[in-house]
Amino acid sequence: MIKKGPARIALCVLFCSLLWCAFVAGNTGDLLIWFDMPATQFTQSLPLGNGRLGAMIFGGVNEERVVLNESSLWSGSKEDADRPDAAQYLPEIRRLLLEGKNAEAEKLVYAHFTCRGPGSNRARGKDVPYGSYQVLGNLRINFMAQPAETRNYRRALNLSDAIASINYAQGGASYRRETFVSAPDQAIVMRFTADQPRSLTFDIRLERSERAEIAGDGADSLLMTGRLNNGTDGNGMRFAARVRVLQNGGSAKVEEKTLRVRDANHATILITAATDYQGYAGRRTSDPSAAASDDMAKAAGRSYESLRCAHIAEYRKYFDRTTLWLGPSAAEAAAKPTPARLKAAAEGGRDPGLAALYFQFGRYLLISSSRPGGLPANLQGIWADTLDTPWNGDWHLNVNVQMNYWPAEVANLSELHQPMFALIASLQEPGARTARLYYGARGWVAHVITNAWGFTAPGEAASWGSTTSGSAWLCQHLWEHYLFTRDDAFLKWAYPLMKGSARFYADMLVEEPAHRWLVTIPANSPENGYRLADKSIAHVCMGPTVDMQLLCYLFAACIEASRILGVDEDFRKELADKRARLAPTRIGSDGRVMEWLEEYDEPEPTHRHISHLWGLYPGSEITPDDTPQLAAAARKSLDARGDISTGWSLAYKINLWARLGDGNRAHRLISLLLSPVAGQKKVEGVSFLGGSYDNLFDAHPPFQIDGNFGAAAGIAEMLVQSHNGLIRILPALPDAWPQGRVTGLQARGGYELDIAWKEGRLTAATLRSKLGGICRIRYGLKAIELSAKPGSTHQITPLLAENSKR
């Protein structure tokens, strides 16, 4: 927080100017998303956020539209979705699966082992207890139409300061609008200026299509209040949003529900909002209107410059930790507006800077949608423009929410992982009930979907809802955070969650008859089906590969964590015994990694989920060095799956190919993800709509943010890997990036790396060790071992060169 006082303000202004100079000097097109026209659709607008408040800027000349979001704005309510008698059917479901009667087992799962109630109502959760993440509303600002033509229009999002700007000239004046969402001041801040006096005349309105009341509030403010449907008696979460204008010159007044500003020289518009969500994260305010009013009073008490300065300083604390340059783009590429740049790259233009921009955009989106104390980034981060958000804008646990957090550690945003940990902790209590009522098991479980209300029951359809390993996959994030940070206090906090999860799986494992391996029953391989002998398709199965890989990882993590903490010796032994008996990852007769315990015929061989390669990434049981046969089988599986798929699936495959050390293939997937969404086309004989919208939001389609995050992680994974006790430098560098430079990537064990390369070869690498330790590093075939002191810095390129001479 910036205190007032001339000295402070002077310092602040100086600091901002220095930042600005640094930005101007260092800025390339790699940190800019920009347009030469206003947005007509959500996926052309510019996303801003502080983790809680979101704003999407459309930038119309005559009408500015800002889509507003508040990350806890969820309809629905806490519900009892667990079937109280589910466990009664478990023995029969298991018997049928063990006897190979999968279709019959699936029928029973449908009838008795799904959630009760309407569930997420197939992604129409808005008016049932499951609920939906929703848009807060729209802010519309109508400028008094000028007859003159608009010139020099430019709308840009600058990732280096998280400010969206709009510039244009009209008549005899030049106009500029700037918007940012401040974390320190918890407000959306807009600033309108013109180079001619008294040229700003506009009307401001708030709108929401249902469940909101909008009224004037004093001479210069509007207030929107409302209450969402809880899915039972209708009286759900309350929310409030306030808008206030502070104009210089001219006048401001409220007429009806419109805030009218006339003939101002410049104006600042502040927007604050809150909900009374009382869940596991968020502000937990009981009076949203008062909370929005407090925030407003504080923000309105500061000058625009000091709000802006505090915002930039706070944002850059995260953003500046990592830089990436992937070599020069053709000058004309970087000079194009982003949609044209995407198109040119898709047509073969040389533009490595676009991948660097996409990487930094992923980091930007995480900083803007996930802050400690808040809710985790959902399927759309925090940016939704409808009430019926696709898939309810919830958290899917069979890849999507995890993918959102793949870049958190490696891309140097470790603290922003916290909302994910809070989500995991929040599922422990409801998940313990689900574990007991469905499986008669101890510990806790979450299946495929969860919401703001602690939903842990299976989904409403057996085909996708019976995946039991969602919670195991969540727990990977706890252990990975520890591997990167070695934060013992965190491990102490996280271990009971991991243990509770492992407890559940250790209780629910069953021995299968063919090999006497321990397997999960019932289960499915996320959303993928297989063909039975009678040609019908089933999903419910036992021991899918992904479950086995996840449990192998989770049990090992718990064993090691309990050793570090010196607790639970007996449990450790139990886990070690059971881990040794888990069904292993196997290679099928066609040389691919088997997805199920049996080699089924596959009705959808190019299915978007590739869960059976979990052990390659984000797990690490499959590596080209340690398990070359499995790595070769994974390659075959990926080839058979094909590249073309939904946005998140493309992003997943970047990481998988990076782990296989195939930079060119990973790069091809980046190129596919960076294909503009432009109507149906066929690639590899598969229909493909494209991977990126004009504003670089990932297209499932529709917009789904996981691909943005997954690709950011994938790009990092191409440059540095650090699993299984070895730091690999440039493990998957594609030919398309012959030179480049990255700073600030993180490696497990508390290491940070800066790397530079030219002509495809490493030229400089610096390793900083935060915690000290023995560190193994490899570049190509050369490996070194280094003993690092806490806080030490090492130039490792000469060491790698020296080592290679021996």
Report the residue from 579, 608, 668, 794 that binds ligand FUC according to the rule CB under 6 A: 608
- With CB under 6 A as the rule, give the number of residues binding ligand FUC: 11
Which residues within the stretch 74-133 sit at the binding site for ligand FUC (CB under 6 A)?
Answer: none
The smaller minimum CB distance to ligand FUC, of residues 400 and 434, is found at: 400
CB of 530 to ligand FUC, least distance (A): 16
Least spacing, CB of residue 120 vs ligand FUC, in Å? 10
Residue 139's H or E segment, with its range, is: strand 137-143
Smallest distance from the beta carbon of 672 to ligand FUC, in angstroms?
A: 16
Distance set, CA 780 to CA 746, 762, 805 (Å): 19, 10, 14
> What residues from 284 to 313 belong to the interface with ligand FUC (CB under 6 A)?
none
Q: Which position among 480, 527, 643, 698 is part of the footprint of ligand FUC (CB under 6 A)?
A: 527
Residues forming a β-bridge with 54? 49, 69
- What are 96's two structure tokens? 């049928």
Tell me which residue of 783, 777, 778, 780 sits closest to 803, measured CA to CA: 783
Give yes or no for residue 401 binding ligand FUC (CB under 6 A).
no
Q: How far apart (Å, rounded) are the C-alpha atoms in residues 546 and 551?
A: 9
Provide the edge-to-edge strand list for the sheet that holds 782-788.
Answer: 720-721, 727-729, 773-779, 782-788
Residue 700 Cβ vs ligand FUC, minimum distance, rounded to whole Å:
6
Q: Closer to ligand FUC at the Cβ: 390 or 760?
A: 390
How far CA 643 is from CA of 545, 637, 651, 662, 686, in Å, comes to 21, 11, 10, 14, 10
Q: Which is nearer to ligand FUC, 420 or 729 (CB)?
A: 420
Taking CB under 6 A as the criterion, the residue among 177, 238, 341, 396 binding ligand FUC is: 396
728 binds ligand FUC (CB under 6 A): no
Toward ligand FUC, which CB reaches closer, 699 or 767?
699
The contact pattern for ligand FUC, residues 686-725, with x = CB under 6 A and - = no contact, is --------------x---x---------------------
- Closest to ligand FUC by CB, 182 or 655: 655
Cα distances (Å, whole numbers) of residue 142 to 39, 60, 63, 64, 163: 15, 9, 4, 6, 21
3-class secondary structure, 308: helix
CA-CA distance, 356 to 667, in Å (whole number)? 12
What's the token pair of residue 483?
């591997």
Rounded distance between C-alpha atoms, residue 463 and residue 466, angstroms: 7
Q: Rounded to the nearest whole angstrom, what is the least distance from the CB of residue 404 to ligand FUC in the complex?
A: 11
Could you tell me the smallest distance in angstroms from the CB atom of residue 429 to ligand FUC?
A: 25
Cβ proximity to ligand FUC: between 400 and 468 the closer is 400
Q: Which residues contact 290 (CB under 8 A, 6 or more apart)?
A: none
Least distance (Å) between residue 607 CB and ligand FUC:
9
Note whether 646 binds ligand FUC by CB under 6 A: yes
Q: What are phi and psi of 794, to 5 degrees?
A: -130, 130
C-alpha–C-alpha distance, residues 169 and 28, integer Å: 24
* Interacting residue with ligand FUC among 280, 364, 391, 406 (CB under 6 A): 391
**Helical packing angle, 470-485 and 418-439, nearest 10°:** 150
Among residues 648, 709, 757, 779, the one that binds ligand FUC under rule CB under 6 A: 648
In whole angstroms, how close is the CB of 608 to ligand FUC at the nearest point?
Answer: 5
Q: Does 379 bind ligand FUC (CB under 6 A)?
A: yes
Q: How many other CB atoms are there within 10 angstroms of residue 489's CB atom?
A: 7
Q: How far is the CB of 646 from ligand FUC (least distance, A)?
A: 5
Asked whether the beta carbons of 613 and 621 are under 8 A apart, the reply is no
- The C-alpha atoms of residue 199 and residue 143 are separated, in whole angstroms, by 10
Minimum Å gap between C-beta 181 and ligand FUC is 25
Residue ranges of alpha helices (H) inside 132-243 are none
Shortest Å, Cβ 133 to ligand FUC: 12
CB of 399 to ligand FUC, least distance (A): 7
Q: Which of 272, 322, 329, 400 binds ligand FUC (CB under 6 A)?
A: 400
Instruction: Kindly identify the residues of this chain, within the stretch 561-580, that bind ligand FUC according to CB under 6 A.
Output: none
* Residue with Cβ nearer ligand FUC (352 or 544): 544
Say whether residue 596 binds ligand FUC (CB under 6 A): no
Quick one: angle between helices 663-673 and 647-659, nearest 10? 170
Burial class (CB in 10 A: 0-12, 13-18, 19+), 790: exposed
Q: Which residue's CB is nearer to ligand FUC, number 380 or number 485?
A: 380
- Indicate the residue type of 631: A
List residues binding ligand FUC (CB under 6 A): 379, 391, 396, 400, 527, 608-609, 646, 648, 700, 704
